[in-house]
Chains A and B, each alone.
Chain A
Amino acid sequence: MKFIQYNLLILVLLSCSEQIKSNKKIQDEVMSAPGSQTNISKSDTLIVNNNIIIKNKADLIGNWVGWFEPDMGNQNNDLAVDDQIYWGRENKISLSIEDIEGENVKGHSVVAGNYRPFSGTISDSDTEYMITLKEPGDDKYDGSFQISMKKNQKIISGKWKAYKGIEINKRKFNLTKKLLKYNPNQLLEYSREYVDWTKLNTEKFREEYENEVFEYISTTFSSATESIYSINASNRKLSKKDLENLNKGDLLIIRNTIYARHGFSFKNRPLRIFFDAQEWYIPVNIDIKSNLTEIEKENIQLLLKYEKNAVEYYDSFGRG
């Protein structure tokens, strides 16, 4: 009998410990990236010429960046949650042409944190270059590109078709050549708001109006405040005072803006959609650890501490 009582007591105690600390984890793609990815060549170390207008084959070498949009005819794959989020499933793509030797083209693409090498062939007419590129095919999202590059133009356009029957298996794109210039002073611009719809809290509301009862469901999302537009974690050492009043969404964005400045391509959807909407953002890298400055490394450590605290203790019974 006593044994049962003790067990019950322990059970009660254990169930309550959740209230003084929640065991949620913070997300960090950059720091927890698998080590095997580190030896993949970095696209911003390419030998690139700065000609943005295509005159000859050499001008094709470089990073071509733009929207990678679904091309599914009438089929609708859009994502809409509540009134706050609308996403047409477009991602920013970076198509890096590394080398052209005769007819052969080599390079890689980066979309949504996915680095894929490709190879293909180039043909040439009076007015344009035509390129066909193939990804290896051992990834679920591999496919082939058909690209047309008109001479004396800035834009290359084309289509992509997946090998496998994935949800969106046809995409189109118009890309321009862009060079990643790391700018530690780059602040976020007012564009799309950060909303993490994967962590929404649903609340039911009841209202009585002229003897009629209305019930509706409203969702609140984890989001960020105005402070993300003014706090820069790349150009100065942040202090306790800068961070102590920020919510977890703010801290997450401020930290990930460091990665975005280095051209990191995000796998995480809410972050990707948020940063893709930033005009200056060029997602060309999947590993940026070695590019981080000392200030940034220190700030990341501090931000992670505050994020951990915000996630575990913000709405729990305790000081935090």
Chain B
Amino acid sequence: MGLHLKLVFQTCIVIAFIYFAQLLVLITLQYVPLNYDVSFLQLKTEINLFHYRIAFFTHVYSSIFVLLLGFFQFIPFIRKNYKKTHRIIGMLYILIILFLSAPSGLIMGYYGNGGIYSQLSFCLQAILWFITTLLANRYAIKGQYIKHFNFMTISYALTLSAISLRLFKWIIAVFWQLPPMDIYKLVVWLGWIINLIVAYGIIKFTNRKRQRLNQMKAL
């Protein structure tokens, strides 16, 4: 890829991220101060359950930080020049997911809308999120940075499903006007499967680039 093209591409990604991240911040702010009768919760009768309430607000309040923090970890400039910053942000990212966002996501997934398949999707996603983040942490400690990168890419792809799920829902609603629950059942799966496919592509692409660089060095 030419240098200019790469720059344009990266700028686009940053702008897109800022745009969608601020939308998610606004969604989170709907629940500040603590509000049981807004947006998603208006139709969610489970909010009357005490443990669901805890899980819901833990998830909403913690996940937004995961989304924002994770983005900085993929900026090569910070990774190379501010290793300590990378580590501190990384520790925060991992701790929040492992102790707050993923477990609360699993509980919410159990009560998910859209029937058994949707619940399965949410729970599976929460478990995969937990495992990939845990493994990424392990490999960072062991110094196996390629594997660390691979698992963190998957972990953040799952984090970004917060954006993609809502984006796909919007696209389907605007262009196909399907009934609301049909859309929901679709995006519950599409929202993270497509992200995983993209993550897999990124991992393959980066590893091939790395191999080529190593071969050139060897020559």
- A residues touching B (Cβ–Cβ < 8 Å)? 12-13, 16-17, 19-21, 225, 240, 244-247, 305-306, 308-310, 313-320
Question: When the two chains form their complex, are residues B179 and A318 in contact, meaning their CB atoms are under 8 A apart?
Answer: no
Question: When the two chains form their complex, are residues B39 and A245 in contact, meaning their CB atoms are under 8 A apart?
Answer: no
CA distance A120 to B160 in the complex (A): 73
Question: When the two chains form their complex, are residues B180 and A247 in contact, meaning their CB atoms are under 8 A apart?
Answer: yes
Q: Which residues on the A side are within 8 Å of B184 (C-beta)?
A: 319
Give the residues from 139 to 197 in chain B that come closer than 8 angstroms, CB to CB, to chain A.
166-167, 169-170, 173-174, 177, 179-182, 184
Q: Which residues on the A side are within 8 Å of B30 (C-beta)?
A: 20-21
Is B26 in the interface zone, CB < 8 Å from A? yes
Question: When the two chains form their complex, are residues B180 and A245 in contact, meaning their CB atoms are under 8 A apart?
Answer: yes
Question: When the two chains form their complex, are residues B180 and A244 in contact, meaning their CB atoms are under 8 A apart?
Answer: yes
Is B22 in the interface zone, CB < 8 Å from A? yes
What are 26 A-B contacts with C-beta separation under 8 Å? A13-B22, A13-B26, A16-B22, A16-B23, A17-B26, A240-B45, A244-B113, A244-B181, A245-B179, A246-B179, A246-B180, A247-B177, A305-B42, A314-B173, A314-B180, A315-B170, A317-B166, A317-B169, A317-B170, A318-B27, A318-B39, A318-B166, A319-B39, A319-B169, A320-B40, A320-B180
Give the residues from 19 to 33 in chain B that come closer than 8 angstroms, CB to CB, to chain A.
19, 22-23, 26-27, 30
Tally B residues with Cβ within 8 Å of A. Answer: 24
Whether A21 touches B180, Cβ cut-off 8 Å, given contacts A317-B170, A318-B166, is no
Question: When the two chains form their complex, are residues A315 and B45 in contact, meaning their CB atoms are under 8 A apart?
Answer: no
CA distance A314 to B22 in the complex (A): 20
Question: When the two chains form their complex, are residues B179 and A319 in contact, meaning their CB atoms are under 8 A apart?
Answer: no
Q: Which residues on the B side are within 8 Å of A246 (C-beta)?
A: 179-180
Q: Which residues on the B side are within 8 Å of A21 (C-beta)?
A: 30, 39
CA distance A313 to B27 in the complex (A): 12
Count of inter-chain pairs, beta carbons less than 8 A: 63
Is B43 in the interface zone, CB < 8 Å from A? yes
- Across the interface, name the chain B residue whose C-beta is closest to A12: B22
Question: When the two chains form their complex, are residues A317 and B23 in contact, meaning their CB atoms are under 8 A apart?
Answer: yes
Nearest chain B CB to A203 CB, angstrom units: 11
Q: Which of B42, B169, B177, B182 contacts A308 (CB 8 A)?
A: B42
Question: When the two chains form their complex, are residues A306 and B43 in contact, meaning their CB atoms are under 8 A apart?
Answer: yes
CA distance A51 to B167 in the complex (A): 63
Question: When the two chains form their complex, are residues A247 and B39 in contact, meaning their CB atoms are under 8 A apart?
Answer: no
Nearest chain A CB to B39 CB, angstrom units: 7
Question: When the two chains form their complex, are residues B43 and A318 in contact, meaning their CB atoms are under 8 A apart?
Answer: no
CA distance A53 to B113 in the complex (A): 57
- Across the interface, name the chain B residue whose C-beta is closest to A246: B179
Q: List 14 other contacts, CB 8 Å, given A305-B42, A317-B166, A317-B170.
A: A12-B22, A13-B22, A16-B22, A20-B23, A20-B26, A20-B30, A21-B30, A244-B180, A309-B42, A313-B39, A314-B173, A315-B174, A317-B23, A320-B39
Nearest chain A CB to B112 CB, angstrom units: 11
Q: Which residues on the A side are within 8 Å of B27 (C-beta)?
A: 20, 318
CA distance A145 to B127 in the complex (A): 74
